Structure formats: C-alpha cells, structure tokens
Amino acid sequence: MFQYLLRLLPVFTLLLILGVPIVVTLAWYHGARGQQRASGTEVMIIAILLALGRRSSLPVVRWVCITYIEFFRGVPLITILFLAFFMIGFILPEGVEPPSLVTRAIIGFTLFTCAYIAEIVRGGGGPRCMSLPLRRTPL
C-alpha cells in the first residue's frame, strides 16, 4: 500500500543525516524564545524520518535508525541533559563560543524526544490496525 514511500527511503535517510545538524544549528540561532518553536518542528520531521527508516528494507538505514532510537530511549533523560550541558563545550573548537545553557537543554530534549515520537509514529494506527493481523475486531 505504501510502496512508494519505500522508494523514497534513501532521500529520507539523507534528510535524517542532515536533520540533526539542522536541529542544533536552528536551536543555536533562534535565541531563547524561538528555540521551542524550532525544536518542536524539527522533532516531528526527524521522528517521522526515523519511523520510516526503522521500517525500511535497506539494512543500513534500518540499523542506523534502530540504533538511534534504542540508544536514546534506553538512556535516561537526565544523562542526556548532563551530556548536553557539559560535552557540547568539549566538542566545539576553541575559537567557537559555546551555546547558552537553554540551547544545550533544547538540543538534549530534541534528541531524546525524537526517539520517543518515532516509536509513537511507527506504532501508530490504534486498535484497528493492531487487530487486523490477528483477524479480530477492533473492540
């Protein structure tokens, strides 16, 4: 039914690879008030791409998406926030000013939330879709 989406998976994978740096750049650029708006938009885009990638028939795409989703779902949010607060400053080159603490928190929340939203999108469909493979009624 959705075979045309599977043909677009290489494009979605490229967008996913480019999406994480875009999230970081936009969160850094937008300032304190625009960060939440930018982060929410990118969360949905990256989550949909992750959900499609997890159902991909290409093994590399599927394993990259599964690894990302399972890693960020398996690590507690407080750990990701600590890593965002302390490690982003170490990753950047010496001449670059590190982002503010709010921006670091938005980056951590975005990476964490993408994994959970991707699982919700992938498993979506409600009781009707879940009951069809079992040949049962939705109620």
- Burial (Cβ within 10 Å: 0-12, 13-18, ≥19) of residue 66: middle
Residue 10 resides in a domain:
yes
Residue 50 resides in a domain:
yes
Length of the chain counted residue by residue: 139
pLDDT in tens, the chain (139 residues): 556 666 766 766 666 666 666 666 665 555 555 555 556 777 888 888 888 888 888 888 889 999 999 999 999 989 998 988 888 878 878 888 888 888 888 888 888 888 888 888 887 655 555 555 555 555 5
Residue 14 structural domain: 3-120
Does the model's pTM come out above 0.85? Answer: no
Residue 95 resides in a domain:
yes
Residue 64 resides in a domain:
yes
CA 39 and chain centroid, separation: 11
| Beta-carbon count within 10 A of 101 CB | 11
